[in-house]
Amino acid sequence: AQTVTQSQPEMSVQEAETVTLSCTYDTSESNYYLFWYKQPPSRQMILVIRQEAYKQQNATENRFSVNFQKAAKSFSLKISDSQLGDTAMYFCASGNTPLVFGKGTRLSVIA
Amino acid sequence: EAGVAQSPRYKIIEKRQSVAFWCNPISGHATLYWYQQILGQGPKLLIQFQNNGVVDDSQLPKDRFSAERLKGVDSTLKIQPAKLEDSAVYLCASSRRPNEKLFFGSGTQLSVL
């Protein structure tokens, strides 16, 4: 069975600083996808970044980037220049169909 | 492009009552998912449809939960009878194809008293 572990239940960061959220996963599949989703208080899950496991290059989306270590099954999210609007729950997810989600990390950006 | 629509936004019922949730995916999205998100946890897939067929319902408690997507467009999820442990947010998501970007609705928050 696939598992996704997010070891940091809560984190905080000062506005404009950089923060890294950790995620490890376990899968027996050879081809799979990895995602980070953001869930603000509105409850709507919003895709932050997506990585295809067969691609060695780390995905980036503006201020968001990942450090994908396939051998270690690690997929961390780095948020640069943190903004107040980044305050939310962040979920790591892996797999094909279905996606398996971690328990989330609550990120607070402090002014 | 309109997003994934869900209703109702909130629902409060007593245990043993029945409840239904509705989801209208983004137009053209063949794949539809229902997720259950219990407080403090990540979403857990209940059922996945490809058009009007079920792809995966392995984690759906079939003695009380049912779902349908008769015309391959909108979908309903029903719980009958509800238990206290069914209190959660029920999220609907859709994608053009499996493994592509999922678009989520705002969810229905269910409280079973």
> Chain-wide mean pLDDT for chain B?
93
Give the DSSP letter of residue B9.
S
pLDDT at position B108 is 96
Q: How many CB atoms lie within 10 A of CB B78?
A: 14
C-alpha to C-alpha distances, A54 to A27, A51, A70, B42, B56, nearest whole angstrom = 14, 9, 9, 25, 25
Cβ A98–B56 below 8 Å, yes or no? yes
The arithmetic mean of pLDDT across residues B98-108, rounded, is 87
Give residue-wise pLDDT tens across range B46-60: 999 999 899 999 999
pLDDT grade, residue A97 (50/70/90)? low
A55 touches chain B (CB under 8 A): no
Cβ B105–A44 below 8 Å, yes or no? yes
Nearest CA in chain A to B48: A98
How many inter-chain contacts (A to B, CB under 8 Å) are there?
48
Nearest CA in chain B to A42: B106
pLDDT at position B43 is 94
pLDDT grade, residue A36 (50/70/90)? very high
pLDDT grade, residue A6 (50/70/90)? very high
pLDDT at position B1 is 61
The arithmetic mean of pLDDT across residues A29-40, rounded, is 90
B39 touches chain A (CB under 8 A): no
For chain A positions 67-96, those within 8 Å of chain B (CB to CB) are 91, 93, 96
Do B86 and B77 touch, CB atoms closer than 8 A?
no
Residue A107 has pLDDT above 90, yes or no: yes
Cβ A102–B42 below 8 Å, yes or no? yes
Query: What residues have CB less than 8 Å from A20, skipping those under 6 apart?
Result: A67, A76, A77, A78, A79
Give residue-wise pLDDT tens across range A70-80: 999 999 999 99
Instruction: Tell me the chain A residues in contact with residue B33 when contact means C-beta distances shorter than 8 Å.
Output: 98
Residue B90 has pLDDT above 80, yes or no: yes
Instruction: Tell me the chain A residues in contact with residue B41 when contact means C-beta distances shorter than 8 Å.
Output: 103-104
pLDDT grade, residue A27 (50/70/90)? confident
pLDDT at position A16 is 97
